[in-house]
Amino acid sequence: MKSKFIKTTQCILATIVVACTSPTLESDAAMPESNTKTSVSTQKMAGYNLVVDINGTGDYKTIQQAFTAVTANNTAETKIFIKNGRYKEKLVLPKDKINVTIVGESKDGVIITYNDYASKLNSAGTAIGTSGSASFVITGSNFKASSVTFENSSGNVGQAVAVRVDGDKAIFNNCNFLGFQDTLYTRTDTSRQYYYKCYIAGATDFIFGASTAVFDQCQIFAKKGGTYITAASTSQTSKFGYVFLNCNLRTDSGKATYYLGRPWGNYAKTVFINCDMANHIKPEGWHNWSKPEAESTTFYGEYKSTGLGGNMSSRVKWSHPLSDAQAKEYTVSKIFNGWVPVL
């Protein structure tokens, strides 16, 4: 199934039983003419408030400088254009920097990267921990990113987060998330996050946390050397956790090497709907993290999984094959309690 963007925010896909609420697509801002001599800041690109260029032709050379320049608690959108380059920065978007949008010149050309990892020691000799390892921490609400690569380049050294999202109503459109263990940390249970046509790669627990997140038409790439794709820690009071809609699950690992998920928290909720799964998915599908008590409190579900790893007949007995009626409840609007993302 492919999402279809129309001027209204509601669409019902009649060819399948799942009804969906699609985001509204905004027109892309005009791209700049190439100009090596004139500063972009003096010939401002239409539609953007700030321009970042590591080579010095923009308003700022670093992304953090641009974030610092954003007016605190600004109710209007601040739109930042980032020119191609490898930006080695440990970024933080503070809680009072809201309604910030970053747009990359190209998805593979704009790379935000850092190489911290959980066991790395700080100046006091204490490990920085998983939360502290993130290359980019987003605490401001209403953040958007389009056509950007986010990376933790540490490799196979344990927990090493590329992006940690704490703020509510975060949107990622056509972005890459690259790492190994713990690539994407959807941290807080009050956060709603929407990922559209993104590529997310990693190994053990590389999508994890307590947030409510929808992954729409994304490619989820499981690297060789890992075992679990998701590790949700959904709160007991949250109706939804992770929802994967029309995603492709791919790998460079071997046959039957990966579980779809395991419960970091005992109320983990993860559902795959209309997803195509390669043969790296184990027949049993899900793992209880050696916590039998979690089997009765988690909600792991699938609907119309396809591919060599999509056979649901041998899934663990405590998982949930969704009925048509249940699947219809997984619309974007319902999952996000009325919020419909606008790309």
Q: Is 120 left (phi over 0), alpha (psi -120 to 50) or beta?
A: beta
Question: What mean pLDDT is predicted for residues 302-311?
Answer: 99
Q: What percent of the chain has pLDDT over 70?
A: 87
182 classed as catalytic = yes
CATH at residue 297? 2.160.20.10
Whether 21 is covered by a domain: the verdict is no
- Would residue 12 count as lying in a domain? no
Flag the least confident range among 22-26, 73-77, 103-107, 283-287: 22-26
216: annotated active-site residue: no
Secondary structure of residue 42 in the 3-state scheme: coil
End-to-end CA distance of the chain: 19
Of residues 182, 113, 186, the one with CA closest to residue 150? 113
Mean pLDDT score, 254-280: 99
Of the chain, the percentage scoring pLDDT greater than 90 comes to 87
**CB neighbourhood size of 40 (10 A):** 20
Cα–Cα distances (Å) from 264 to 87, 146, 270, in that order, read: 32, 29, 12
- Cα–Cα nearest to 300, from 269, 326, 324, 260: 269
pTM comes to 0.89
The confidence score (pLDDT) of residue 227 equals 98
For residues 152 and 129, the answer to whether their CB atoms sit within 8 Å is no
**Structure confidence at residue 44 (pLDDT):** 61
In a domain, 180, yes or no: yes
In a domain, 241, yes or no: yes
Q: Which two tokens stand for residue 311?
A: 């056979």
pLDDT score of 45 = 77
Answer whether residue 26 is part of any domain.
no
Active-site entry in 59, 205, 216, 276: 205
Cβ atoms of residues 293 and 266 within 8 Å: yes
Count the neighbouring beta carbons within 10 Å of the beta carbon of residue 318.
Answer: 15
pLDDT at position 25 is 39
**Contact call for residues 200 and 208 (beta carbons, < 8 A):** no
Question: Strand ranges (DSSP E) for 10-123?
Answer: 50-52, 78-82, 85-88, 91-93, 100-104, 110-114
The set of residues, in sequence order, having a beta carbon less than 8 Å from that of 202 and lying 6+ positions away, is: 177, 178, 179, 180, 181, 182, 183, 184, 221, 222, 223, 226
Question: Hey, which residues does 261 pair with through a beta bridge?
Answer: 230, 286
Summary mean pLDDT of the chain: 91
| Per-residue pLDDT at 263 exceeds 50 | yes
Residues 17-70 pLDDT 10s: 343 444 443 333 333 333 333 344 434 678 999 999 999 999 999 999 999 999
Matching residue, tokens 């972009």: 40
Cα-flanking dihedrals φ and ψ of residue 190, to 5°?
Answer: -95, 0
pLDDT of residue 11: 35
- Residue 35 inside a domain? The answer is no
- 185-201 pLDDT, tens digit each: 999 999 999 999 999 99
Beta bridge partners of 220: 200, 249
Within a domain: 4: no
269: pLDDT strictly greater than 80 = yes
- Residue 303 domain flag: yes
Q: What is the pLDDT of residues 59-101, one digit of tens each?
A: 999 999 999 999 999 999 999 999 999 999 999 999 999 999 9
Residues 248, 219 contacting (CB under 8 angstroms): yes
The residue with tokens 């704490």 is: 166
Residue 243 pairs with which residues in a beta bridge? 214, 271
Range of the domain at 196: 50-335
Question: How many domains does the chain divide into?
Answer: 1
The catalytic residue among 182, 189, 216, 276 is 182
Rounded-to-10 torsion of CA 308, 288, 118, 254: -20
Instruction: Tell me which of 270 and 11 has the higher pLDDT.
Output: 270
- Per-residue pLDDT for 15 more than 90? no
What phi-psi label fits residue 289: left (phi over 0), alpha (psi between -120 and 50 degrees) or beta? left
